[in-house]
Structure 1
Amino acid sequence: MDKAIFYPMLGMATLTFGVVVLLAKRRFAAIGKGETTNLAFFKTFRGESPEPEGVQTAQRNLTNLFEMPMLFYPACIAAGMLGKVDTVTLSLAWAYVVIRFVHTLVHVTGNDVRTRFKIFFLSNLPLMALWAYIAF
């Protein structure tokens, strides 16, 4: 398997771990400031979240990173196993990672929903193209 396909996967994993750190930082800060007081919520995650918006957006972004990107990792592995790692595959993979990074920045900062949706939609184009390119 061509090792070069590992690097975009490492990029996505690094983004995911970065959001985990951001979430932890925001969550512990909110608890420390007394902005999150109903810790019983976390036993069942039922009802309205007791956390400030910044914590909720980081949590939601982390959830997002376990949705569509889960189609990214097997595509990269398939490309490596099928001998389809080339400039096109790597360009599509890196494009996906970069666009998802921008999506995360928008989500965890200003969280403009329209902008975020456009970036999300755009991120799916290289992912779909990656799957199509590997398949044919």
Structure 2
Amino acid sequence: MSESLLAPGAVLALWTLLILGWVALTRFSAMAKAGIDLKAAPPGGRGVDVEKILPPAVNWKSHNYTHLCEQPTIFYAVIVFLHLSGGDTELTRGLAWAYVVLRIVHSLWQTTVNRIPVRFAIFSLATFCLFALAILAVIATLG
């Protein structure tokens, strides 16, 4: 693994964009199969407007993309705080990589199987890593 605390953030950003691509591919394909004509849609429509029409497994990918744009924003800030304040240590790099791996596993689970008890357990483990990173960031920045 990289010696930079910023590397896990870069990997998670790339993963988020890959999920966005998967969302686009599956949604446009499902909309075509459902006979939805985007040119005929009224102005101002949103993706959520088609959720009742599309199969749940298609929507799961969109839901996961949304999740990757929520809590990970805290992760990005925390690793930058740690990087800038001298908190780039073996421990923080390990926690950051664990967070990213858990978020990727969470994505794969949510986009394919999506059983909530397992998804929640994976999310909880990732959140624990982020919480620990945030505490370490406060310690590093208060010096």
The TM-score normalised by the length of structure 2 is 0.84
Aligned position for 1:52: 55
- State the alpha-carbon separation in 2 of the partners of residues 78 and 53 from structure 1: 38
Structure 2 residue ranges without an equivalent (≥5): none
Aligned position for 2:45: 43
Paired amino acid for 2:45: K
Counterparts in 2 of 1:62 and 1:36: CA distance versus 1, 3 Å: farther
Aligned position for 1:102: 105
Counterparts in 2 of 1:62 and 1:18: CA distance versus 1, 3 Å: same
Give yes or no for contact 1:36–1:50 (8 Å, CA) kept in 2.
no
The TM-score normalised by the length of structure 1 is 0.88
Runs of 4+ in 1 over 3 A off after TM superposition: 38-42, 44-48
Aligned position for 1:7: 7
Deviation at residue 51 of structure 1 after TM alignment: 1.7
Farther-moved stretch of structure 1 (37-46 vs 65-74) = 37-46
For these two proteins, the number of residue pairs brought into alignment is: 133
Match of residue 114, structure 1, among 100, 117, 121? 117
Structure 1 residue ranges without an equivalent (≥5): none
Q: Please give the root-mean-square deviation of Cα atoms over the aligned residues, in Å.
A: 2.0
